[in-house]
């Protein structure tokens, strides 16, 4: 059985990604995983604090480089999407270049890029999304995904600015937002476009309720890590994206 070391660059106030990703990947039948984090200071999900957080990236990458992870995930979706289209490709390239300078062959992914990758894998063209962000930031996420070629048919913003409170959003509030969406034209639902907003207990039941693929930033991140590590997609109970390859339901 192979072992994968996963490096996580996370906002300092995030308490969810280091819970949901181990829970997801711990279900994989063919590999074990360990998680190694470095934190960027951020308490409020605002443009100013996101920019200040992104400026700490190089320090975090340097710290994680000492652990030589197999895969590194830049785990803050809106931090990259708020900058503008294509930012995940630019940042992933810069991180890979920084790690390579130190002699590391770590594979680099980001939550923003992982969501794009996962939506293409479904495959989905028309999507609906639930975000925890204030509406101006949620609109940037919509614009980013549309620039990647998706049509966002409907979206909701729960308008929680304090990132610590994002980690406490109850599932019934998320499901209420999802139920209010116009899903008739949607190919897929992103029930949590944020690694801090808890979603793991919701994905499978939401998929059964709505009858279409349901993803979250967490399940997309797990998918991207597995693809980077060249491991089979085979995680039960987390939606069709992570079922054994070839098992996507539409």
Residues contributing to the annotated binding site for substrate = 14, 76-78, 133, 163, 195-196
Residue 173: strand, helix, or coil? helix
Q: Is 194 a catalytic residue?
A: yes
- Closest among 138, 131, 141, 128 to 84, alpha carbons compared: 141
Tokens of residue 77, six digits: 């979706």
Handedness of CA 41, 155, 239, 109 (dihedral sign): negative
Place of tokens 């998929």: 207
Q: Which of 21, 76, 152, 235 is catalytic?
A: 76
Q: Answer for the pair 219, 198: CB distance below 8 angstroms, yes or no.
A: no
- Closest among 48, 85, 70 to 224, alpha carbons compared: 70
| Count of CB atoms situated within 10 Å of the CB of 1 | 7
Phi first, then psi: what are they for 152, rounded to 5°?
A: -90, 105
| Count of CB atoms situated within 10 Å of the CB of 193 | 30
Q: Give the annotated binding-site residues.
A: 14, 76-78, 133, 163, 195-196
Q: Which of 122, 130, 189, 194 is catalytic?
A: 194
- Closest among 156, 158, 155, 152 to 132, alpha carbons compared: 158
Instruction: State yes or no: cis peptide before 123, omega within 30 of 0.
Output: yes
Q: Is 76 a catalytic residue?
A: yes
Beta bridge partners of 31: 2
| Count of CB atoms situated within 10 Å of the CB of 169 | 21
Catalytic residues: 76, 194
């Amino acid at each position: 059985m192979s072992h994968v070391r996963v490096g996580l660059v996370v906002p300092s106030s995030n308490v969810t990604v280091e819970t949901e990703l181990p829970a997801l990947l711990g279900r994989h039948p063919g590999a074990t995983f360990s998680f190694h984090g470095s934190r960027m200071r951020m308490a409020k999900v605002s443009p100013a604090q996101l920019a200040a957080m992104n400026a700490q990236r190089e320090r975090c990458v340097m710290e994680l480089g000492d652990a030589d992870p197999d895969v590194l995930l830049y785990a803050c979706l809106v931090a990259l999407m708020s900058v503008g289209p294509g930012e995940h490709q630019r940042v992933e390239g810069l991180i890979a270049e920084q790690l390579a300078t130190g002699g590391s062959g770590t594979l680099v992914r980001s939550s923003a890029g992982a969501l794009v990758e996962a939506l293409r894998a479904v495959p989905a063209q028309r999507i609906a999304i639930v975000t925890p962000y204030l509406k101006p930031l949620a609109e940037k996420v919509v614009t980013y995904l549309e620039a990647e070629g998706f049509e966002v048919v409907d979206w909701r913003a729960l308008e929680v600015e304090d990132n610590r409170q994002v980690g406490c959003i109850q599932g019934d509030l998320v499901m209420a937002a999802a139920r209010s969406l116009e899903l008739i034209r949607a190919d897929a639902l992103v029930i949590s476009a944020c690694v801090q907003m808890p979603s793991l207990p919701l994905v499978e039941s939401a998929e059964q309720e709505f009858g279409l693929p349901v993803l979250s930033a967490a399940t997309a991140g797990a998918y991207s890590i597995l693809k980077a590590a060249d491991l089979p997609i085979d995680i039960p109970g987390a939606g069709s994206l992570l079922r054994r390859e070839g098992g996507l339901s539409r």
